[in-house]
Amino acid sequence: MSKLMQGKRGLIMGVANDHSIAWSIAKALAEQGAEMAFTYQGDAFARRVKPLADGIGCDLLVPCDVEDIDSVDNVFAQLKEKWGTIDFLVHAIAFSDKSELRGRYADTSRDNFARTMQISCFSFTEIAKRAAELMPNGGSMLTLTYGGATSVMPNYNVMGVAKAALEASVRYLAMDFGDQGIRVNAISAGPVRTLAGAGVSDARLMFNFQQNNSPLKQPVTSKQLGGSALYLLSEMSGGVTGEVHFVDSGYNIVSMPRLEELKT
Ligand code: NAD
């Protein structure tokens, strides 16, 4: 049987190490024959990302800090020169000052609000626009969000607001690019132990609470995230765009924990 991503080329942004959600996705895509280019945020990350990328035969690894638009442009210039076109994009990038991922949302500073929105939300729009220019035959784009976009999660604060805007961006971009055959979707992942995840205060408590109170009562795995991303990036989801797809053991449907949990 031919592999789902055979002959497909794409860009993966947001691998920091082998715990990164972007890496879970890249592994699933590589198993299905995809060819990938990777970005890394800076020299500190190169040491970890290069061996991972090498391990799956990647020969285009480009530094990119989304706060620096020249570095974003350089990524797409290199992709254009090397491949001419791409078929998919994964954006798994977020940042907020740790000191504001605790306490009250009301105390968010102006500077950190703007920076969080730029890195965690607007970067997807800037990148999607450039990626679409390299997708003359259509394509699929994917970003990562979290349930804190639509309901209040302790300490998630400004990141929840940025994710809400990111989810709205997914819908607007899906409309903008739909007539070019380009689909745009998001995965809303349950909590995963990553660098970014650990930035939210009391992440461990949230992780345990969501796991214990989700219908499946299990943590989200790297394989599950990879599998859902593969679906959204491949032709298997050819009729799906503008969607936020939950991969969270079903936690998003729960309004109240099981009563037996409350009685213990
Ligand atoms: P991670 O720390 O492995 O990845 C975050 C990535 O963002 C890193 O690779 C980092 O280099 C990159 N990044 C941050 N600022 C950047 C900048 N200025 N320029 C370029 N890159 C920058 O953590 P992760 O959990 O894999 O995060 C990936 C995505 O998944 C994020 O959007 C995150 O919000 C989202 N997400 C995570 C969880 C979770 O529980 N870990 C849950 C839902 C959604």
pLDDT tens, residue by residue, 24-50: 999 999 999 999 999 999 999 999 999
What is the percent of the chain where pLDDT is above 90? 92
The mean pLDDT of 57-73, rounded to a whole number, is 96
Pick the more confident residue, 21 or 200. Answer: 21
Examine residue 160 and state whether it is found in any structural domain, yes or no. yes
In a domain, 111, yes or no: yes
- Helix (H) or strand (E) holding 143, with range, is strand 139-145
Handedness of CA 126, 197, 27, 171 (dihedral sign): negative
**ipTM exceeds 0.95, yes or no:** yes
For residue 196, how far is its CA from the centre of ligand 1 (angstroms)? 5
pLDDT at residue 262 above 80? no
**CATH number of 189's domain:** 3.40.50.720
**Ligand 1 contact via 92 beta carbon (within 6 Å):** yes
Confidence of residue 258 (pLDDT cuts 50, 70, 90): confident
Position 1 in a domain: no
Contact criterion met (CB below 8 Å) for 75 and 129: no
What is the mean predicted confidence (pLDDT) over 7-12? 98
Ligand 1 atom 37, closest CA: 197
pLDDT digits (tens, 9 = 90+) for 141-166: 999 999 999 999 999 999 999 999 99
In this prediction, residue 22 carries a pLDDT of 98
Helices (H), the chain: 21-31, 43-55, 69-82, 110-117, 123-133, 157-178, 195-198, 203-213, 222-233, 259-263
Give the pLDDT of residue 96: 97
96 lines ligand 1 (CB under 6 A): no
**42 lies in some domain:** yes
Structure tokens at 5: 């991503």
pLDDT of residue 165: 98
Residue 3 lies in a domain: no
Does residue 259 belong to any structural domain of this protein? yes
What residues make up the domain containing 48?
9-263
Residues with active-site annotation: 146, 156
Strand partners, 124: none
Q: Which atom of ligand 1 is nearest to the CA of 15?
A: 9
Query: What confidence score (pLDDT) does residue 2 get?
Result: 85
How large a percentage of the chain has pLDDT more than 70?
A: 99
* Sheet with 88-91, edge to edge strand ranges: 61-63, 35-40, 9-13, 88-91, 139-145, 182-189, 244-247
One-letter identity of residue 153: M
Among 180, 154, 152, 184, which Cα is nearest to 171's? 184
The answer for residues whose C-beta is within 8 angstroms of residue 198's C-beta and 6 or more apart is none
Q: How many distinct structural domains can be found in the chain?
A: 1
Residue 4 lies inside a defined structural domain of this protein: no
**Would you say residue 145 lies in a domain?**
yes
